[in-house]
Structure 1
Amino acid sequence: MALLHFHIPDSIPRVVMLAVTMPALCATMWIQDAHSQASQEADPSRIEDQLIEREVPSRKPTADDLSLGIAGAGTDDINVPPFILSGVTVEGATAFSGEEIAATYASLLATQIGSTELESIAGRITALYRDAGYVLSRAILPPQDVTTGIIRIQIIEGYVSHVTTDGTVPEYAIKGYASRITAERPLTLTTLERNMLLINDMPGVSLKDAVLSEDEAVQGAHTLALEIGLDRIGGSFFVDNRGSAEVGPVQAGTSVELRNTIGFGDAVSVAGFTVPSEPRELKLIRIGYTTPIGSSGLQMSVSGTASWIDAGGTLDAVGDESNLKAVSASLAYPIVRARESNLWLNTSLDVRSAEERTDFGTVFDEDLVVLRGSISGMVADDWGGRSYVTFRASKGIRLMNAAKRGDLLLSRVDADPQAATLTVDVSRYQQLVDDLLSVTLAGRAQRATDALVSSEEFSLGGARFGRGFEYGELTGDDGIAGSIEFTIAPDIELAWVSSPQIYAFYDTGAVWNRNVVFGDARQSLSSAGAGIRLTFADDFNAGFELAKPLDRDSSRTNTDEWQALFFLSGQL
């Protein structure tokens, strides 16, 4: 936190100067101490990120829920007398060379074969296609005379000739995605999955079913029939008590999304957050707009945020108030979009103006422009697990009168607003006993090139790392954190209640600060606890958690005692 700044003319005698400045300096020290003990939630630079972390995710079907309805690779029964295989003629193959196909049956040449081996040859060639992703292609044995020793294999390279919908969405809305499916011949699973999932990614669109049927008149041609759900308006809400005495502790948020407003596939969202019992402590509003650019999966988003905080708790005595104004523009593109793997590229430009003041003066007044980029990946494997990783880089830039190092009213005196950071997030979800028992491992690390302004610091505490502590319990230029959670999900259905989860967790983390004069450059925390999560009527969720700080007192209670936490959330 930046020091308060006073200018004393040289003409004032030293005794008078001390008499004037000592009370103010004492007040400054008291305010800084209060800030070190009070919640970082009173910092307007961080409040938006904390609230976004708790927003309710979409209930749209996941990639696993989407059935592609692809038929098997079976071959017709064949009955021929034994013969010596002297050659194979392959017709209709364009995806593979003759040498690649010949490698599948080379071991059978000049040997005696029968019906079983003939079916095996067709099956091997079909497998060659299927393993390469040509899921609609297959090899067949047309009627023929095998007494010459030369057999004929016909390759049916499958494709989709038509894409139809149930009329829920206009044809032009999916034309670009459909054209990519019909243009590829033979069709690969990569292209089919990608474009179906991109349709499902559009706001308000849910791909409920997909059926592939082969054209009886044209070999290899298929029709893809899509059943699509469309919600033109949606919303969500959450309530929890992870706030602090300064801003909370109970906080609530709600959002409304209007879809297909200017063009199909776009969305306008409005979100608001507050403290229900003391709305003056927090008022935040965010307006956003998202739209696809073309049909390749590229998305553009813009948003604007404004917040006002009139802190309570220990900061109320000094009249601590703060505000934030921020705008952001971003582009996101799916390099890979599939059911079992995804890779997203994202870039954004954030412009923020944050100010905090008390009855004694301005604590900080900071304008930032930050360029960000990230790449996020997910891979599902055959061991019943999913792995996630995200690399994020950010760099402050000098545009539009952005703050610079040495400015008097930075959120941290020693900070470099143009510093760069690299952050890595990893997590692993692993089933241990079917769907009954699972474990989730997660980690995060950050490295900075220099001391950071408050909004860019690595933070511990809150719903992810440091659950026994409030948001921003510890912050630093560099940091590392990890957590482990075991979850039991009994297969029981109760009236209005489904998908109960009982879990236990442990988390820990540490931060490092540069240029530390007082205190330790390294600080750490850890906590453990257990809880239960419930789903009601598929759309509403509730949870109760007991969490205990293990190695330091929590700023929420100023003790290391157990804390009772709850949340309610839902989709509307």
Structure 2
Amino acid sequence: MHTSPRHLIIAAALSLAASLVVIMPTSSVRAQQAPDAGRTLQELRPRLPQPVTPPAFKLDAPMVESVAPGGPQVAVTSITIDGNSAIPSEQLQALVADAPGRRYDLAGLKTLADRITDHYRRAGYPFARALVPAQTLDGGALRIQVLEGRYGRVAASGELAGQAQPWLSALRPGQVIGGRELERSIYLLSDLPGIAVDPVMGPGSAVGEGDLDVGVSMARKWGGQASVDNYGNRYTGAGRAGLSLWGNSLFTFGDRATLDALLTTEAMWLGALGYEAPVGTSGLRFDARFAHTRYELGKEFSSLDATGRADIAAAGLSYPLWRAAWGGVTAGLQYQHKTLRDNMEVADSHTKASSDSVPLSLRFDARDTLLAGLGGLTYGQLSWTPGKLHLGPTLMAVDQATARSNGSFHKLNLDVARLQQLPANLNLYARFMAQWANKNLHSSESFGLGGQGGVRAYPLGEGYGDAGWLLQTELRYPIGNVTPYGFFDLGRVKVNQDPWAPGENTRTLSGAGFGLRAILQKAWTVDVSLAWRTHGGKPRSDSRDARPLAWASLAYRF
């Protein structure tokens, strides 16, 4: 039985998630240290975004006309099939091998041709059709003609027609219209940031031809988002204000430039610049990004006079291996360089570390009609990161006697989410994240459990380690633009992959609560929630013991 790529994606993601849960260790953890540049960098990592629902392009294939049964019958002795090139004649003949020796009226003869039409369309040729042309059927010899459906004219139109036309080069006049190739070309074009696409297939100038016209326009040239929330680490600033700006097709067709800024209540700030652009018209894209972060520890750690900074520069390529209406799979290769500096003036301590890594990733999304046809979305990313850590002299001396994290390392990460439609207007959301490491890691590569993006009953900075897993679940009930939800979070972390000190080395945290999300006037988004601890004890990364822990955010898109 043939298995579609989307079902392979869903099955692979779920089985890998289950496997990572099984191999993760069990036990409990010692108290955590003050945040440093590496930990701060990890806490600012953006959450994997939910894919935007793609436009529902309708390219109507010719309808299969019905014929009323009845009338004269003819005995069929042989069948000849012509006009086919995409599918071998042997396959088509096998579809009607039972016909010779039987009598058929006109409707019966058409059902024989319909078998061939159905076979073509299941094979990915949506505009193909087989018909019974006018003929005398001398001696019972039946001829079935196949019109495979070929491109006549293929053209882009609209304000961006000139720039968009090369993206349709894979669809050539005279070529059989294949559904997979057509979908890929149209969706690769529509995936370009800010680009709106409207494809229309009309009759061509010759029988069996279709003219493809693709309207292309700029949907949005500029945009951005301003936000405030309390999602930060208490010691580097729980209150945060952020601003993101982006522009599309600024230097070349299909590119995007981004600017991000973040400021916290403890004067930590982040600035980041990003740029991505297509390389040719195959879907290959280049991206580059630079981010700079500065922090100063406050609250109970303010007496340390501790400051630091983190810089990360990255550049890479991505390529869509599969792209269709149901979703897709994109491979990515990136180079990252991180530079981390921490200062503690009270002890006259100044340390430096850097790392180089080459993450390899597979990003995927798949839409389906599982669970009685209600439908759902599975999306996520699997990545493998080989890298090398370079510690400065001060840190090197400590590291050699403790964690031995300096040098080469490898880690495997999975981040997969499922959004499932349920009866009674309910939605179930589940997200699973996991990390495996081959050795003890630097804080800039570690895995954390706490925070609004983790176990929400614990503060950001709680439960960090070299390996671990985390499960977030939400039951949602949308009521117009307002969505109340209940949630349960569970995670486990292994502090050191290779323990170097006595004591507990793993910890399990869980929590539950409820919240409310609302979209106001299509531009404002509000999210508030309360979370209570159910397992794991008091927080060890924060001196406060807030029960429940409250989270709130407000964002405005423009």
Q: Give the TM-score range, shorter chain.
A: 0.7 to 0.9
Following the alignment from structure 1 to structure 2, what is the Cα–Cα distance between the partners of residues 56 and 247? Answer: 25
Structure 1 residues 264 and 98, CA, compared in 2 at 3 Å: closer, same or farther? same
Which residue, 434, 437, 448 being the options, matches 1:448?
437
Which moved further from structure 2: 422-431 or 503-512?
A: 422-431
1 or 2 for the larger relative contact order (CA 8 Å, sep ≥6)? 2
Output aligned runs, 1:274-285, within 5 Å.
274-275=263-264, 278=265, 281-285=267-271
Q: Deviation string for 1:401-444 (max 9, x for gaps)?
A: 6769972376985323421111222332221217x112122222
Q: CA contact under 8 A between 1:429 and 1:441: conserved in structure 2?
A: yes
Structure 1 residues 314 and 160, CA, compared in 2 at 3 Å: closer, same or farther? farther
Shift of the alpha carbon at 1:557? 6.6
Secondary structure, aligned partner of 1:317: helix
Following the alignment from structure 2 to structure 1, what is the Cα–Cα distance between the partners of residues 255 and 65? Answer: 45
Structure 1 residues 37 and 44, CA, compared in 2 at 3 Å: closer, same or farther? closer
Q: CA contact under 8 A between 1:159 and 1:182: conserved in structure 2?
A: no
Length, aligned pairs only: 518
Which residue, 131, 134, 147 being the options, matches 1:140?
131
Matched, 1:473 2:462: yes
Over the residues paired in the alignment, what is the CA RMSD in angstroms?
Answer: 2.7
Aligned match of 1:547: 531
State the percentage of identical aligned residues: 25
Shift of the alpha carbon at 1:142? 2.0
Structure 1 residues 72 and 549, CA, compared in 2 at 3 Å: closer, same or farther? farther
User: TM-score, normalised to structure 2's length?
Assistant: 0.86
Q: CA contact under 8 A between 2:199 and 2:212: conserved in structure 1?
A: no
Q: CA contact under 8 A between 2:484 and 2:516: conserved in structure 1?
A: yes
Shift of the alpha carbon at 1:241? 0.9
Output aligned runs, 1:170-569, within 5 Å.
170-171=161-162, 173-182=163-172, 185-207=175-197, 209-275=198-264, 278=265, 281-359=267-345, 360-362=347-349, 364-383=351-370, 384-397=375-388, 407-408=396-397, 413-433=403-423, 436-490=425-479, 492=480, 498=481, 500-512=482-494, 513=496, 514-551=498-535, 552-554=537-539, 555=541, 558-559=544-545, 561-569=547-555
Following the alignment from structure 1 to structure 2, what is the Cα–Cα distance between the partners of residues 72 and 505? Answer: 48
Structure 1 residues 139 and 443, CA, compared in 2 at 3 Å: closer, same or farther? same
Structure 1 residues 300 and 556, CA, compared in 2 at 3 Å: closer, same or farther? same
Following the alignment from structure 1 to structure 2, what is the Cα–Cα distance between the partners of residues 390 and 128? Answer: 35
Aligned match of 2:90: 99
| Long gaps (5+) in structure 1 | 1-33, 493-497
Shift of the alpha carbon at 1:302? 0.8
Q: Runs in 1 of length 4+ with deviation above 4 angstroms? A: 54-58, 401-406, 409-413
Which moved further from structure 2: 375-384 or 555-564?
A: 555-564
Matched, 1:53 2:35: no
Structure 1 residues 389 and 110, CA, compared in 2 at 3 Å: closer, same or farther? farther
Following the alignment from structure 2 to structure 1, what is the Cα–Cα distance between the partners of residues 165 and 42? Answer: 37
Secondary structure, aligned partner of 2:303: helix
Q: CA contact under 8 A between 1:306 and 1:325: conserved in structure 2?
A: yes
Matched, 1:110 2:111: no
Shift of the alpha carbon at 1:244? 2.8
Shift of the alpha carbon at 1:366? 0.6
**Amino acid corresponding to residue 321 of structure 1 in structure 2:** T
Following the alignment from structure 1 to structure 2, what is the Cα–Cα distance between the partners of residues 520 and 413? Answer: 15
Output aligned runs, 1:50-89, within 5 Å.
50-53=43-46, 62-63=53-54, 65-75=55-65, 77=67, 81-89=72-80
Following the alignment from structure 1 to structure 2, what is the Cα–Cα distance between the partners of residues 70 and 423? Answer: 41
Secondary structure, aligned partner of 1:505: strand
Q: CA contact under 8 A between 2:382 and 2:415: conserved in structure 1?
A: yes
Shift of the alpha carbon at 1:309? 0.7
| Long gaps (5+) in structure 2 | 1-29
Following the alignment from structure 2 to structure 1, what is the Cα–Cα distance between the partners of residues 142 and 393? Answer: 77
**Amino acid corresponding to residue 509 of structure 1 in structure 2:** G
Which residue, 153, 162, 167 being the options, matches 2:153?
162
Secondary structure, aligned partner of 1:119: helix
Q: Deviation string for 1:218-237 (max 9, x for gaps)?
A: 42232233253332222123
Following the alignment from structure 1 to structure 2, what is the Cα–Cα distance between the partners of residues 377 and 54? Answer: 15
Which moved further from structure 2: 508-517 or 285-294?
A: 508-517
Following the alignment from structure 2 to structure 1, what is the Cα–Cα distance between the partners of residues 395 and 235? Answer: 29
Q: Deviation string for 1:233-289 (max 9, x for gaps)?
A: 2212332111132122211211111222222111221111112xx3x6211100111
Q: CA contact under 8 A between 1:54 and 1:238: conserved in structure 2?
A: no
**Amino acid corresponding to residue 358 of structure 1 in structure 2:** M
Which moved further from structure 2: 319-328 or 532-541?
A: 532-541
Structure 1 residues 510 and 404, CA, compared in 2 at 3 Å: closer, same or farther? farther
Q: CA contact under 8 A between 1:458 and 1:511: conserved in structure 2?
A: yes
Shift of the alpha carbon at 1:570? 3.4
Following the alignment from structure 2 to structure 1, what is the Cα–Cα distance between the partners of residues 393 and 441? Answer: 11
Which moved further from structure 2: 562-571 or 443-452?
A: 562-571
Q: Deviation string for 1:126-174 (max 9, x for gaps)?
A: 1111101111211122222246422222211123333444422141x22
Secondary structure, aligned partner of 1:222: strand
Which moved further from structure 2: 248-257 or 373-382?
A: 373-382
Secondary structure, aligned partner of 1:190: helix
Secondary structure, aligned partner of 2:169: helix
Secondary structure, aligned partner of 1:107: coil
**Amino acid corresponding to residue 315 of structure 1 in structure 2:** F
Shift of the alpha carbon at 1:368? 0.8
Q: CA contact under 8 A between 1:416 and 1:450: conserved in structure 2?
A: no
Structure 1 residues 440 and 132, CA, compared in 2 at 3 Å: closer, same or farther? same
Output aligned runs, 1:23-34, within 5 Å.
none
